[in-house]
Structure 1
Amino acid sequence: MAPPAHLVDLSWPVHPGMAMFPGDPPMELRPMGSYEPDGFLSHLASLPAHSGTHVDAPGHVLPGAPMLAELPLSRFAGPGVALDLRGRPGLAVTEADLAPHLELLLALAPAFVLLHTGDEARWGQADYYSAGAHLTPSAARLLAGLAGRAGIGPETGPSIETSIETSAEAGLPGIASDTRPRPSDLLSGVRPGLSGIGMDAGSADPAGSHELPAHRALLEAGLVIVENLRGLGQLPRQGFDFFCLPLLGLDGSPVRAAALVPGAAGPGARP
């Protein structure tokens, strides 16, 4: 008999009035059918592809790079690690904030690294996007180095070994560890190596950025980026599987993100 496990919902509900990126049109619902006289209820939903909890494809910022439809479905599921970064000193997630977690990431070789920034608590506030958590370029390059494969852009992130050497030169702990991938106990056929980065914040880059260095570093390494997650505090640090299956095959798509966590759901868990 398989050990008990439970699903944790990591997505924000999609509804009119939901928080949207500045300048994006609002989410709209329009009736298409009603019980009377049509005999059924149906709606037309309209929203930008990068709305709510969503995933970015490499083609989001890189011309000619793959769109979501060109990536295998296995790229959107796999073992995850959740990093609690709520105690960091600044708004941005820096290379120094990630350094204490490198040994774990190298040992586990997860498919997804989920960054718990604490911005979930600010969802819906007027400055959620304009003053939100984000990655510094060096932090993004460090995460891109975990991909462990050739990138798709001209300036892919350094290898994780190079990133660690750079961290050591900067006074951060250097780490040597076995980087061989370790497949999930619950999923088979999921590709080895890092597939994506997720975060409970609105964007990997600060609002107003036109160069989008964090997006470019991650997407050029062939990763996907999942933004606007919630509920990361319900996850263990490791030992769970993460899912972010896209609805659309475009440059981005809303997802129903969830985690499969061993054991029974604890008291107060969101269904």
Structure 2
Amino acid sequence: MTDTRPRLIDLSHTIEAGMITYKGLPAPLICDHLSREASWANYDPGTEFQIGRIEMVGNTGTYLDSPFHRYADGEDLSEVGLERVAGLPGLVVRAQGLQAVDADRFAGLDLRGKAVLVHTGWARHWRTDAYFEDHPFLTEAAAAFLVEAGAALVGVDSHNIDDTRTRVRPVHTRLLGAGIPICEHMRGLELLPDEGFRFTAAPPKVKAFGTFPVRAFAEVG
């Protein structure tokens, strides 16, 4: 029997104890809340369970920014509807070799209602010092173009969608101000076709929270 299900491509990094996603933010602490050995006291012989504990900031691993991340009155994670982060038609924009990805990279493309994923190739530096330095980013003009073109979500496989050498964040400001979620620190975009796939990056429904890790993935075929 032929398997007609779409092929799933994982686009997210694995979260590990001690992992640094963004310099200056604490690494996640992952440990047992209840170890298997400790659970023996609660069950009959041969039955055991583990309950894990994780302490981390929202900006860990591959994560989604909601408008609340930038704006006090913006939608938090619990208010962003699934239709805005799940099953979106996807489009990959190739930008390897560029540091500043400008509006011209998106010109002539049908972006309306789509998850626009910017493939810079920077994910190859993940978990190295090079990941944090001179990373690719979008320009303010590119963000304005994406808003005007009606993009539904914007993702990037880089350290930040903004240029972190300055203290302003125009791309976050424009995209989140228009209600467009941002997915940062992606991976695996080289595995995707330029279009013809569905994209999902759904975070948990956390009230009064603007950012949280996601299991980002694409459905191809």
Flag whether TM exceeds 0.5 (same fold): yes
- 1:21 counterpart = 2:30: no
CA distance in 2 between counterparts of 1:255 and 1:37 reads 30
Aligned to 1:211: 168
Matched letter for residue 61 of structure 2:
G
Q: 1:79 aligned to 2:83?
A: no
Distance 2:37 2:72 in 1: 48
Q: Which residue of 2 aligns with 1:9?
A: 10
| Contact 1:136-1:205 within 8 A present in 2 as well | yes
CA distance in 2, matches of 1:59, 1:210: 19
SS in structure 2 of the partner of residue 74 of structure 1: helix
Map 1:227-238 to 2 at 5 A. Answer: 227-238=184-195
Name the residue aligned to 1:126.
129
Partner of 1:185: none
Take 1:35 and 1:43, find their aligned partners in 2: how far apart are those partners?
Answer: 10
Deviation at 1:132, TM superposition (A): 1.1
Q: 2:53 aligns with which of 22, 44, 49?
A: 44
Query: Is 1:145 aligned to 2:163, yes or no?
Result: no
> Is residue 69 from structure 1 mapped to residue 78 from structure 2 by the alignment?
yes
Q: What pairs up with 1:82-93 in 2 under 5 angstroms?
A: 82-88=92-98, 91-93=99-101
RMSD: 1.7
**TM-score, length-normalised on structure 2?**
0.88
Structure 2 gaps, min length 5: 40-47
Contact 1:10 1:229 in 2 (8 A): yes
> Where does residue 106 of structure 2 map in the other structure?
98
CA contact (8 A) 1:81 1:110 kept: no
| Amino-acid identity (%) | 32
Q: CA deviation at 1:37?
A: 3.1
**Which of 201, 207, 210 is the aligned partner of 1:244?**
201
- Asked if structure 1 preserves the Cα contact closer than 8 Å seen for 2:20 and 2:26, the reply is no
Residues 112-146 of structure 1, C-alpha deviation per residue, up to 9 Å, x if partnerless? 00000111111112131232111111111111112
- C-alpha distance in 2 between matches for 1:55 and 1:12: 13
**Equivalent residue pairs, number:** 209
Query: How many angstroms apart in 2 are the aligned matches of 1:20 and 1:239?
Result: 30
Cα offset for 1:110? Answer: 4.2
Answer yes or no: is the 8 Å Cα contact 1:218–1:225 preserved in 2.
yes
Contact 1:130 1:206 in 2 (8 A): no
Change (3 A) 1:87 1:128: closer
The alpha carbon displacement at 1:71 in A equals: 1.4
Report the AA paired with residue 104 of structure 1: L
Listed as ranges, the gaps of 5+ residues in structure 1 are 148-193, 263-271
Deviation at 1:22, TM superposition (A): 1.2
